[in-house]
Structure 1
Amino acid sequence: MDGRTRIRHAILRRPLDRIPRYDSFWEDTLSAWLAQGMPTGAGPEDLFDFDLRIMNIDASLRCEQEILREDPECVVFRDRAGYTARKFMGKSRALEWIDHVTKDKQTWQRLRDGFRVDPAGPARLDVKSYFFHMDPYPAWSEVKQQYDAIRATGKYLAYAVYGPWEGAWRHRGYTPLLMDLAEDPLWVAEMAEAQSELVVAILRHCAALSLKPDALWLVDDLACTRGLLFSPATWRAVFKPIYRRLGQFLRDEGISFWLHCCGNCLPLLDDLIECGLEVLQPLQAQAGLDVRELKPAYGDRITFWGNINVVKLSGPAEACEAEIRDKIMVAKQGGGYIYHSDHSIPPEVTFARYQSIMELVEKYGRY
């Protein structure tokens, strides 16, 4: 069974040989692993036979990019998404946000034309992450070669892209956008809808070029460890109509709808499922989520992807195995589960430990 079939069967609750698997890694984790003996020339997705491959959609305003300052410790840069930030080199930590381009409605009206697809211009898709993508984007013809190479592997293919909330605050600013939700929610909806319409336009263009993915993986952090960033009523009024329209488009196109949402978004889960969501990731354990509780309540309506606590993975071997065994043995029942950590693998997890983790996932993930 190839990776594409395996993930499809997991989502559709069809017979499987084992649970599908995929994981994410902090930047300094992979640097440490190379020093610990990880083979060069192949990434974890090949070394550990992950079932999923990712391409990344650029749904930005395509603002001018520039490296403003660089030294061995950090780089200050202006991003095409509309922000200026400081990134610490080789470190797994959040960016330090310095500035955002959308200062007011007048600025927004001037900038919003950047949310468009130019068929003759650089592609809005690449195998490289949209995050800190300082190189020029390839031509669509080059992207077709990337796409065909992934399809030849038999892996499932998802396109990752910022969601309506994330896409809007990148150019408006995190705190200003939260204030806008309280003071001018219609403007927030306008900005979020414009970005979502661009995502749809990109997917339509991809389909015309025979570049249709298996899934769209929306990256939209709507919560933190203590709960939602805003009330359920606010999300339903501003963002749910956008999610619903996007979900309907994906359903019509035969593209599966996936979501990455950090924190605890449980108060919105029924709404998200109603909008067509099929896969939820990463199910952070530190946010109080436990797939053993979620599976009986929602497992017939959505596929869970993740929830394996990275703190346990880096702890004593017995605790690591118990975390994997106890959760997978419940989550895999009847399909509807994909292995992933509960966010990203930190450098505290050694390469040798991760090899044993994959052996345990293989052992307990078999049907």
Structure 2
Amino acid sequence: MEVFQRVKNRIPRGELWISGEIFKGLALEIKQESLITLNKILDADMCFFSYSSPLQNIPVGSGEMSLLIEKARASGLICGVTVDGPFERLVRDYGFMEVIKWFHRPGRLVELLKKNAALAAAELRAADNAGADLLILCDDIAYNRGLYFSPENFRSLLLPLYRELRNYIRDHKPVGFHSDGNIESVIDDLIDGGFSIFSLEPEAMDLGKICRRLPGDAFILSGIKAAWLMEPDPNNSKDSEIVAYISDLKQGCRLILASACGLYDLQSLERLKRIYRLVESC
């Protein structure tokens, strides 16, 4: 994709989600503009904003997103915007167990999914118009062993909405998909639906296997395991594992180096910096 041609001589890198605790620890203001400063500290290539970030909500019609993207671009960053999908919005409003019950009486579920898809569409259109380089639809639809519902439910209830959301965006602009858990059973559906960047959990999926199923212009936005950021490792015993895993992924597909879990605290931030240094020559 043309947008990633700006990154020369290394794997592009950037995090979808960064906790406010990190901003507190670095004495940065807890607002989305501080993501620009933090990504420059990290020497990242990409910065991800959101209209509904826990750091700071941004009204869709305010023009603030355009200003953020302009400032990030001036700092040399590729700009992405993440947008929550219809399932994730429902779970946030009604609770996971309640929403799952509705899959057995889909009349109400269809109505509510369409309503929340319309909210996601408004954010996607606004982010596109604000000048985002890429967009990521985030819908946590799975756990480590598979989808929360059947693939048939996915294809009948969610996939048509995802296709509509993708079609709101101009064809030249890359649109990605993020979910926690194992979504292997519907990867091909998402590819056919026009998604070309996949933020996936390394712990839940065999990313090497997934790479072999992706078309040549698709990207994996992943490669950093949660354990590398969170588990104590005073002897740096995982260094060779980290380098080998990321090198193999890079050989198998187009890779944007990122975690799926995000950064929670200053320790994970320092671990991420170390991973960046380890794989600088990959």
**TM-score, structure 1 as length reference:** 0.64
Change (3 A) 1:353 1:154: closer
- Indicate the SS of the match to 2:81: strand
Match of 2:31 in 1: none
Structure-1 separation of matches of 2:73 and 2:121: 22
Residue matched to 1:160 = 82
**1:8 to 2:7 alignment:** no
Cα distance in structure 2, aligned partners of 1:322 and 1:140: 47
More deviation, 187-196/259-268? 187-196
The amino acid that maps onto 1:294 is I
Q: Distance in 2 between matches of 1:255 and 1:154?
A: 19
Task: Give the structure with the higher percent helix.
Answer: 2
> 1:284 touches 1:343 (CA, 8 Å); kept in 2?
no
Query: What stretches of structure 2 of length at least 5 have no aligned partner?
Result: 28-33
Quote the Cα distance in structure 1 between the aligned partners of 2:151 and 2:256. Answer: 27
Question: Which residue does the alignment assign to 1:363?
Answer: 281
Is the partner of 1:54 in helix, strand or coil? Answer: strand
Secondary structure of the corresponding residue to residue 280 of structure 2? helix
Q: Which of 39, 48, 51 is the aligned partner of 1:45?
A: 39
Name the residue aligned to 2:133: 214
1:278 is matched with 196
CA displacement 1:20-42 (0-9 Å, x = unmatched): 011344454565677xxxxxx88
Deviations 1:275-298 (A, max 9, x none): 11111113231x2x2323322333
The 3 A distance-change label for structure 1 pair 204 and 257 is: closer
In 1: Cα distance, 2:269 partner to 2:158 partner: 40
Q: Distance in 2 between matches of 1:342 and 1:171?
A: 23
In the alignment, structure 1 residue 306 sits paired with structure 2 residue 235? no
Amino acid at match of 1:362: E
The gaps in structure 1 that reach 5 residues or longer are: 35-40, 59-128
Call closer, same or farther: CA 1:18–1:30 in 2, change over 3 Å. same
Given candidates 167, 186, 190, the residue that maps to 2:111 is 190
Q: Give, as a single letter, the amino acid of the residue that structure 2 aligns with 1:292.
A: G
Relative distance call for 1:338 and 1:319 in structure 2 (3 A) is farther
- 1:57 pairs with one of 44, 47, 51: 51
For 1:225, give the aligned amino acid.
N
In the TM superposition, residue 238 of structure 1 has moved relative to its aligned partner by: 0.5
CA contact (8 A) 1:206 1:212 kept: yes
Give a deviation string over 1:89-143, Cα, whole Å, max 9, x none: xxxxxxxxxxxxxxxxxxxxxxxxxxxxxxxxxxxxxxxx1x374x784972444
**Which whole-Å deviations, capped at 9, do the CAs of 1:4-24 have from their partners, x for residues lacking one?**
96x5349xxxx9521101134
Q: CA shift at 1:243, angstroms?
A: 0.9
TM-superposed CA distance for 1:226, in Å, is 2.4
Paired letter, 1:53: C
SS in 1 for 2:279: helix
| Counterpart contact for 2:85–2:139, Cα < 8 Å | yes
Whole-angstrom CA distance in 1 between matches of 2:210 and 2:235: 26
1:255-334 matched pairs, under 5 angstroms: 255-285=173-203, 287=204, 289-298=205-214, 300=216, 302-313=218-229, 314=231, 315=233, 317-333=235-251
Give the whole-Å Cα distance in 2 for the aligned partners of 1:350 and 1:221: 22
The offset of 1:316, in angstroms, is: 5.3
Structure 1 residue 304: deviation in Å?
0.8
Q: Which residue of 2 aligns with 1:71?
A: none
Q: What TM-score do you get using the length of structure 2 for normalisation?
A: 0.82
| 8 Å contact kept, 1:282–1:343 | no
Task: Name the aligned partner's letter for residue 72 of structure 2.
Answer: I
Number of equivalenced pairs: 272
**Cα distance change on mapping 1:243 and 1:356 into 2, 3 Å:** same
Aligned ranges 1:1-40 → 2 under 5 Å: 8-9=4-5, 16-23=8-15, 24-28=17-21
Which secondary structure state, in structure 1, belongs to the residue aligned with residue 93 of structure 2?
helix
CA contact under 8 A between 2:184 and 2:210: conserved in structure 1?
no
Give the secondary structure class of the aligned counterpart of 1:362.
coil
Q: How far is the alpha carbon of 1:351 from its aligned partner? A: 5.4
Specify the code of the residue in structure 2 equivalent to 1:234: N
Counterpart of 2:39, as a letter, is E
| Amino acid paired to 1:51 | D
Which letter maps to 1:20?
P
**How far apart are 1:145 and its partner, in Å?**
2.6
Q: Give the direction of change, closer, same or farther, for the CA distance of 1:132–1:9 in structure 2 (3 Å limit).
A: closer
Aligned match of 2:69: 147
